[in-house]
Each structure stands twice: as structure tokens, then as C-alpha cells.
Amino acid sequence: MTALPKQMKLGLYATATGGHVAGWRHPDAYADMGANLRRCIEMAQLAEDACFDFLFLADSQAMRGSDWDVLSRGSTRYVGQFEPLTLLASLAAVTEHIGLVATANTTYEEPYSLARRFASVDLLSSGRAGWNLVTSSNEEEAHNFSAQSHMQHADRYRRAREFAEVVLGLWQSWDADAFPRDKARGRFFEPSRMHLLNHQGEFFRVRGPLNVPPSPQSHPVVAQAGASEPGKALAAATADIIFSLLGEFDAARAYYADVKARLPRHGRTPDDLLILPGINIFVAATEAEAQAKQAAVQGLVDPVVGRSFLEMMLGASLGSHPDDGPLPELPPTNANTSMRQKVVDVAREQNLTIRDLYMRMTDKDTFTVVGTPAQVVDQMELRFHGGAADGFVIMPSFFPNSLRDVVEQILPELRRRGLFRTSYEGRTLRENLGLRSIARPALLA
Amino acid sequence: MSRAQQMKLGISLVSNGTHPAGWRLPQARADAALDFSLWKSMALAAERARIHFLFLADGVAVRTAAKDDDALSYSGRIDQFEPLTLIAALSAITERLGFVATASTTYNEPYHIARKFASLDHLSGGRVGWNVVTSWSEAEALNFSREKHLEHGVRYGRAEEFVDVVTGLWDSWEDDAFLRDAASGRYFDPAKMHVLRHVGEEFSVRGPLNIARSPQGYPVIAQAGSSEPGQELAARTADLIYTAARSKEAAIAFYSSVKGRLPKYGRMRQSAVVMPGILPVIGRTEAEAQEKYDALQQLIHPKVGLAMLARAFGDLSGYPLDGPLPEGLADSNGVKSGREALEALARRDRLSIRQLYLLVTGAAGHLQLFGTAESIADQMADWFRNEACDGFNIMAPYHPGGLTEVLNTVIPELQSRGLFRTEYEGRTLRENLGLAHVPNRHALREQTAAE
């Protein structure tokens, strides 16, 4: 018997009003997605009916930026939205299959609390939770957590590495058979099946055990996005999923090969880590209609918002450089360095003006595909079969239309080609992603 | 305004029950703590009975004074959902029931707590409350990079500032700050956003919070402090005050003491409700109730009982269980006043070690009410009418029967006497508790200035 052909994994970027800075202004958009549970439930159930592997909630523990006028013109900079872990738990109660992944940051959290909250959502959802590990990437967060300044990149990653070690360790506090709950003898758990962590490190001292036992998928799936060198190293050691923002085929393929080649040294196989680039899709029956859809959203971009969004991605001010001029040389940054490099490379290669660039960036993503279902799926398949992606995170411009378009036009085409499931294979997120249920995660060397 | 004519009632649910041996009862679900479908049905049952809120106690550790892992393994309060995620899940399947969850000011950051409770308040449509605790256990300290728990005074200093930062962040936005006006492109009105810029002893927090103002203004704030600084914090900031009182006299004294402190902070006596914890044991006759309670107490494993005493007296496992409390025990690291009171009680009543742990283990210092639904309702009415409380926080000793018994017998009895409502009066927890929506301090100032 031959094995079934491999299929794509699909996640849904489900944060606030959508991925596009002007999406909320579209006449059909739910502009209150960040504060309306009913709409979030509608979205989650739509994605679940479509058999998405998971939905993903990005996060920031501060609004991104200090220019209140700019911030007041949009929602994508974490202005007003549900706190992701609480929203995830609410969605766990009204869904049955879809994975529930949220960002939580290692710079301003305590590992015990974070390990516990994700373990709790994992149990509430019967094994469908995932943690997207990020380090804080902005100064604004520091100001909300009694920190004088933003932690340096290298320090953040050292802390993140130790943080991951503690969380993964706490998730091993109890064996699956640790709780006999023997009423007759009065013995609730079996002491030899409990494991105290007793971690002593540079940043943390944590005894354990966690007061939440393992879920049906043993522990939550771990996602990461870091594209920098320390980010890749950490992901190769600890992550189950990488959210990359590389859409350009050659760059995506090189990245894919680089990361997968790092796995064997951690005792892992290439299948143990899935690489899922973000993709923003404008689809319609004809190419012209698809382009019109994109133009409708792009036409809603407020120049003030577009320019400042670009500044945020660059981690630098553009000062008085005009929108119609080229991108100037930039001073060094302590922000997300891989993000900046990508933007700068695109600008230089294609000789773009500041305006060109921010219009290009407004969907948060350089991988935007516009066209008919067949054209879009061709691009997805090229990457999937070409060693550049194990699947994708769909980033709708706004809700609900951009998601509906994908469900109604892209998924049937993917299924026609045998590239996506028609029903969930397993009960847990780990099972649906085809990830081994590992008793002990790859250890940090 | 006079006192309300009807009681406020919460139900305290924790892990596998509030009684340490509850899980061992034949009719108990020993794996209740992690069965979400069971928690859903318990929440829906409480909502049908028009209960004000479910209360979820919490600790950020397996909290224990057990001498070793073996002794610990006899405790049924090891595993539980993390309460904020649990109430988020439960609020998605209920419509009127409130939820009050514990979060520590010692092991959290105020920005996180302000944000999570504001988020929960939006998710639930204004039905959540934050039970402010300062944490007491060594086990928690050891999970948070500390050698031991903070000294009492330091904990309360931090708690005072913590609550001020949280309420300050909750006023980051005026109620109508979010416009979401697609035509003009304005998502919010910057004039209705207020940056906190708090700089204090423990915290510096700029703000604003990245979530709109809570439907209730502020989520309900609950506290259980009985100590002097605890009562002051409660009188200044709490809407809901818990207490453990074993006698009506003690409850009346506490009620009068804490209510008497409210005016000092510009608050009215009815601005906060006082709700002592009670553990009802219900039978068809008084004798049957007593038998049921004895059966429950019999199930307390000696290793669990000794762990309860270890907090005050250290390890007593080397002494005979049915012998007296030994003389000349070394000072322990535990709660001093509690130890002296217990020691005096043991000497006066010549209690054995076993009798002593049975006494402290059952309801952990709360009032145990024995009897029929009628006689329990009598006792509750007596407390309520005599200003010993505004209502009760009813502790469910095991799951799910410990809850359903109360809902099926005591609640209808109170309702038939007109002492408990038969419909929710409002949509939010504040409305149902008879507490006012909290106005935004900045909007209030502008309004006052304009007048």
C-alpha cells in the first residue's frame, strides 16, 4: 500500500480586523472584530467547517507606537483587541476540531504562568492549543512593564531560550498515568510519576511541578517566527511550526532548506518542524476582478498610516524623506532585524519609492497572490512541492469576506488537486498537523 | 438607600471540591477538576438557579505543607484549570452568570492583569470580577525565581499600588472612545484616550491599555483580607468582600468593622457587599446531615490532616495521632496567630492530633452549616437579617453533587421565602450585585469641570 500523498497544512491569521491596515474600512468589513465575541465565533466556526488546521492570534502587550494620531487611524497595531489567551479559551468552548494558537512573549511573562495558561487551554480544548513564542520587539512594551528600556536582541534570545526550556520542562511535570485518583486508598497521584523541574538558570529559578497535567496531545504545539540566526537556532531546537513571512520562491526555498538541515543535530527529522509562510490572497473568477478586489482595499490606505506602518517595520523614522523618493540609509536598530532586512532588500532590488514600499507592505506580508483560483493555487503548489513550504498561514485582509473568498474559491481548487483535507484526520492539533506525539521535546543543547 | 431585601449568592468551586476529602466520596467525580464538560454543566445549573457568580480560588503552584511527595500524593487538590482561561471558556456558553477569579498581585504584572480582566469583561458582556490576593505560600515563591514568599507588609504595599495601576489602566479609554468610523478613517478618538504614566515604588507603567474600557467600567473587585491592612485595602478598593467567620458574632463584628471603614474613602456602606464563605451539609434530617458530614471527615487521610497542621506546627508525623498535641514544639515558619489560637483550643478541649486536624481541615475556618434545607435557610436568614453579611459564598465540598444539592434544595427554599431572586435583575455582574457602573475618572473630571 502506498502512503497517501502529503497535504498542505493551513492556518488562519485571525487577529482583530484582519491583516491589512485598511481592511477595517472596507464597507463589508467587521470593524469591531477585536471586541465582538460573536463575530470571532463566526470566524472560528467558518474556519473549522473548512478544516483549517488552526487559527492564530498575534499579540502585542502595548499599542505599537506613540503617535496617537497615527494609531487612531487603524486597528492592526494592537490598538483594541481581546487578550489572546482569554479569547482562545472562549473559542475552545464553541469549537471541536480547529487548533487554537496564540502569541505570548517571553520578555515580560513568567514561564510558570505562561506554561500553565497554555496547558489549561490545551485541556479545555482537549488537545488543540499552540503557543507562538516571541520575544518582545518594541520599546512600548518595556514601558508597560516597569522596564527602563527595551532589552537587547541577544539578551532577549538568551532569555527566550531559557524560558522555552522552563516551559517545556514544566509541561513534563506529570506522566500521562500519574493520576490514579484511588478513592479507596486515598491516593490521588503516584509520586514516582511526578517530576519536579528544579530549574536554576541565568534568568529563572523554577521548582515546579505545574498544577495542570498533560492534555491528550501531551503538550501544546510550539510555533515560532524568528527568522534571525538565534531565532532559527531556537526554532530548530524547540518549535513544531515556523510562521515565516518569506513568499519569494528562491528565498523561501533557501530558508526552508537551511532550517530543515538544522533538525538532525537535535535528534529531529524534517517532518518534526513545519514551515508555514504567510500568504495574502485576492481571488476572483477572473484576474481582473481579483485585481479590483485588491485595489479596493489598497485605495482605503491612509497615507499617514501607510508611511508609519513602514517606519514600524523598519524600526526607524523616515523623517522628512518624501513619499515619492527612495528609501534612505537607516541607522542601526534594536527592533526586529530580520523584518527590516527583508523590507530594505525588496526596496533596493525593485527600486521602490517610499510610497511603493508602504503600499506593498500594508498587508503585513510580501507574499501577496492575486488571481483566479487556479492561478493562486499554482503559486501555493509551486512552493509546497518545490521545497519552500509545508503549508501556509492565510492572512485575510479583513473579515469576513477575505476568509470566505479563500474558503469558497481556493479550498475547492486545493481539494480538486488533492492538496488539502476534506475532514479532520485526528482529534488533537498535533495529530492533524501530523506531528509525532513526543514524550520529551528536543532538548536545548 | 436601605439594605437589599435579598441575599447575594456565589458558589465557590475549586479543583475537585473545597473539602479535602470530597473527591473520595462514592458519589464524587474524582476527575472533576479537568473535565470541562462537567464544568459547563455546573455553570449552566448555577445560572438556572440565578446564582450571582462562580468563584474560583487559585494558586500558582501545587500549594502544600506536606512533608514529602508521598504525603502530598494524598491531596485531591493538585490539578485544576487555570481560572482566567476557564472563565473565558465558561462565559462563552452562559449569558447571565458572573465569574470571579483569583489572581495574585505578588506574581503578576498589573498590565497583564488589567488587560486579561478587561478582555474577560468584554468576552462575557460585563460578568467578571477579579479576586485580589497577595499569595501566602512558599511553593508559589519557588516557581517565580524567589527564595521565599514576600513579607506581609511588603506584599500589601505592592498590592495597594498594583490595584491602583490596574484601575488606572482600566480608565485608559472613555466609554465611547472607539469610533470605528470607516468613512473618516478614525478608529478611535485620541481625545478620549488617557495615558496613565504611573511611576511608583514597585511599578512604572505608561499605558494606555490596548483594549477598550470594560462594559462594567471596571470589572468587580473582590478581596478576602481580614487583617488590618487587608480590611483597609478592601474598604478602599473592593466591591465584594469575602471572609471566613465561624460564628454569627464574629461575622457581625467583621461586617461592622469593614463597612465602617468605607466612608473614610468616600464610599457608601452599600458600595461593597460582604459575603462570608459557608460549607452547607444538607440532610433530610439534622441527624442525617451530621452523619453525612462525619462520613466526609472520616475520609480525610491522616497524611492530608497532618499536612494541614504542618503549616502551624511543623511535622507531627512522629507523634501518635490519637495522642495529645506535644509540648514544646519548635517555632514554625507558618502563620503565628493561627498557631497560638489552635494550640490554646487543643489544650482547652484536650484534643488529640487527629481531632485537631479534623477541626481545621473540613471547611478551612469557614462556617459549616448542618441540617435540612429549611434549617440551613433559617441560619442563613438569621445572619443576613442581623447584618452579619449581605449574602454568602457557598463552598461546594465535592463535584458535582456538592453543587447540585445546594441548587436543588437550599436555593428553592430561600426563593420561596423571598430571600433570593428568581430572575436576574441585570445583564452585568455589577447590575446583579446592586453595584453601580464605574464612571471613567477622566470623563468625570471633564464633566465636573463643565458643570
Of A69, A83, A204, the CB nearest to B119: A83
pLDDT above 80 (res A308)? yes
Of B25, B76, B187, the CB nearest to A73: B187
CA distance B358 to chain A (A): 16
- In chain B the first and final C-alpha atoms are separated, in Å, by 26
Q: Pick from B107, B399, B85, B338: which is nearest to A204 by CA? A: B107
| C-alpha of B290 from chain center | 26
CA distance B291 to chain A (A): 19
- What is the tens place of the pLDDT at every residue in B136-185? 788 898 999 888 878 888 888 999 999 999 999 999 999 999 999 999 99
pLDDT at A361: 75
Q: Which three cell numbers stand for residue B77?
A: 487538590
CB B86 within 8 A of CB A120: yes
Q: How far apart are CA B30 and CA B34, in angstroms?
A: 10
Quick check: B207 and A144 CB within 8 A?
A: yes
pLDDT at A442: 44
pLDDT at A66: 83
Within A80-152, where are the H helices?
84-94, 111-124, 139-144
pLDDT above 70 (res A162)? yes
- What is the tens place of the pLDDT at every residue in A257-290? 999 999 999 999 999 999 999 999 999 999 999 9
Most B CBs within 10 Å, among A90, A170, A304, to test the B interface: A90
Global confidence as pTM: 0.95
- What is the tens place of the pLDDT at every residue in B76-85? 999 999 999 9
pLDDT at A415: 98
pLDDT above 90 (res B450)? no
B175 vs A contacts (CB less than 8 Å): none
Most B CBs within 10 Å, among A146, A167, A198, A205, to test the B interface: A146
Of A120, A191, A300, the CB nearest to B81: A120
CB B27 within 8 A of CB B401: yes
CB A243 within 8 A of CB A225: yes
DSSP letter for each residue of B399-417: TTHHHHHIIIIIHHHHHHT
**pLDDT band (50, 70, 90) for residue A339:** confident
Nearest CA in chain B to A205: B145
Bridge-based pairing of strands B204-205 and B198-199 is antiparallel
Q: Which ipTM value was assigned to this complex?
A: 0.94
pLDDT at B403: 96
Q: Taking residues A163-173, report their average pLDDT.
A: 95
A90 vs B contacts (CB less than 8 Å): 88-89, 91-92, 123
* Mean of all residue pLDDT scores within chain A: 91
**pLDDT band (50, 70, 90) for residue A153:** confident
CA distance B29 to chain A (A): 10
Quick check: A187 and B34 CB within 8 A?
A: no
A206 vs B contacts (CB less than 8 Å): 142-145
Q: Does domain A9-290+364-433 have CATH number 3.20.20.30?
A: yes
Of A87, A93, A187, the CB nearest to B119: A87
Q: How far apart are CA B10 and CA B127, in angstroms?
A: 13
B142 vs A contacts (CB less than 8 Å): 205-207
Q: Coil, strand, or helix at residue B79? A: coil
E strands, A160-315, are 199-200, 205-206, 221-224, 241-244, 274-283
Q: Which three cell numbers stand for residue B417?
A: 421565602
Quick check: B108 and A113 CB within 8 A?
A: yes
CA distance B313 to chain A (A): 23
Of B26, B93, B109, the CB nearest to A108: B109
CA distance B114 to chain A (A): 10
Of A62, A80, A203, the CB nearest to B188: A80
B30 vs A contacts (CB less than 8 Å): 181, 183, 188
* Mean of all residue pLDDT scores within chain B: 92
A204 vs B contacts (CB less than 8 Å): 145
B304 vs A contacts (CB less than 8 Å): 186
B72 vs A contacts (CB less than 8 Å): 191
Helix pair A337-350, A354-361: axis angle to 10 deg: 130
Query: Which residues contact residue A204 at a Cβ distance below 8 angstroms, ignoring those fewer than 6 apart?
Result: A111, A162, A163, A166, B145
pLDDT at A365: 54
Q: How many CA atoms lie within 13 A of A20 on its CB side?
A: 35
A120 vs B contacts (CB less than 8 Å): 81-82, 85-86
CA distance B84 to chain A (A): 7
pLDDT above 50 (res B186)? yes
CB A256 within 8 A of CB A226: no
Query: Which residues contact residue B294 at a Cβ distance below 8 angstroms, ignoring those fewer than 6 apart?
Result: none
